Amino acid sequence: MTSAPQEALWQAIHDRSTIYHFTPDPLPTGAVDQLIEAATWAPNHRLTEPWRFVVVAGESKQALAQLRGDLARQRAEREGRGLDRVAAQVAEFDEPPVYLYVVQQLAGDDSRQREDYAACAIAAYIVQLTAHSMGIGARWGTGLMATDPAVHRFLGLESEQQIVCFLGLGYERPSDRRVRSRRQAAELTRYLGALAAR
């Protein structure tokens, strides 16, 4: 039998979902700070605390959305594709009122960097889960807006830093959630040896 806190945690893990469309409503004062505080409690090997965070909002967020459009146009021209989707991509990127970039401070050998990357990814998931518990939606992003040097310059990142992901944060537009399903855990698990009975 599970306790109420355990049930609440399970429900949050199960119900959290990527949000694709947001209302224009701003987040409450201090909400982003709370999310970052929660993220800093992610497990990290040897307490390296490899995460750094960049919050993009207001006019800076609009400028970032414009940069998204510029990069999309450049890519389309390089690949010989039409520009018909660029405006829609900019509008979609501009929807969340806040972006939180999760950045890894690069240090040490390959082994440490792999561990630190995993720690940053866990920190980002904690942001998503905490946001969900606060009624705030989140959309995880990577790709062009995480890897292009122009984005790194925009964010003022150092050469020893890399973007793990960026999270669009805001309130979900009603009736826009996508139906999702997951494979059963039993399909994905292999046991070596028997578990001890309690």
pLDDT above 80 for 66: yes
Average pLDDT, the chain: 92
Proportion of the chain above pLDDT 90, given as a percent? 74
Containing structural domain, residue 98? 40-77+90-175
With respect to residue 196, please indicate whether it lies within any of the assigned structural domains. Answer: no
Domain count within the chain:
1
Average the pLDDT over 65-78 and give the result. Answer: 91
Give residue 86's pLDDT.
84
66 inside domain: yes
- For residue 28, being part of any structural domain is answered with no
Do 53 and 39 contact (CB within 8 A), yes or no?
yes
**Does residue 189 form part of some domain?**
no
In a domain, 83, yes or no: no
Closest alpha carbon to 94 in 127, 137, 63 = 63
Could you tell me the two tokens for 70?
Answer: 């510029």
In a domain, 191, yes or no: no
- Provide the pLDDT for residue 89: 85
CA distance 50 to 56: 20
As a whole number of angstroms, the distance between CA 22 and CA 26 comes to: 10
- Asked if residue 52 has pLDDT above 60, the reply is yes
What is the rounded CA–CA span in Å between residue 129 and residue 87?
A: 31
On whether residue 4 sits in a domain, the answer given is no
d(CA 152, CA 103): 10
Query: Which pair of structure tokens corresponds to residue 119?
Result: 């720690």
Task: Convert the pLDDT of each residue in 82-100 to its tens digit.
Answer: 778 888 888 899 999 999 9
Determine the pLDDT at residue 29: 96
Residue 155's CATH number: 3.40.109.10
DSSP string computed for 110-143: HHHHHHHHHHHHHHHHHHHHHHHHTT-EEEEE-T
